[in-house]
Amino acid sequence: MKPLIVLLSVFGVSCLATFIAGHPPDYYFCGRLAMAVMLIFAATAHFKFYKGMVLMLPSFVPLKKTVVYITGYIEILAAIGLLINKVRYPVAWFVILFLVVLLPANIYAAKNKVNLERADYCGYGLNYLWFRVPLQLFFIIWVYYFGLVN
């Protein structure tokens, strides 16, 4: 829920700021900026809550802590890339693929009731997927629309 709030808030504020500044609104840039901020917000969880993130990975994944840190850095680099016009198309496709690849980890975490922030198994469980899966699809559509359409 927090990433969605960040995404929509940054989008609204950036659109409002361009309006107040008297510039023509660039909704596509505002959408990319909002996704970039959301990705950086999500990346901070990889460092602040890395123990909970490690619990999200199935047992067959090696070097879990390293994977968590690397994916955090990937999110930061992707956020930057979405804001650079020369690379935003391939970066947007990469972010879409990245979001698809991450979905199984979210399903695994929900199935095992992982609580990311407390790093335990007392999370929301499978009911969380009723929100998380549509949210992940929303993020993918958002990146497609704001990163690739224009």
- Single pTM value for the model: 0.92
**How is residue 125 annotated by DSSP?**
G
The stretches of the chain forming alpha helices (DSSP H) are: 2-20, 27-48, 50-55, 64-82, 88-111, 129-144
The pair of structure tokens assigned to 15 is 């659109």
- Residues in the chain with pLDDT < 70? none
How high is the pLDDT of residue 127? 83
How high is the pLDDT of residue 132? 86
Contacts of 14 (CB under 8 A, 6+ apart): 29, 30, 33, 34
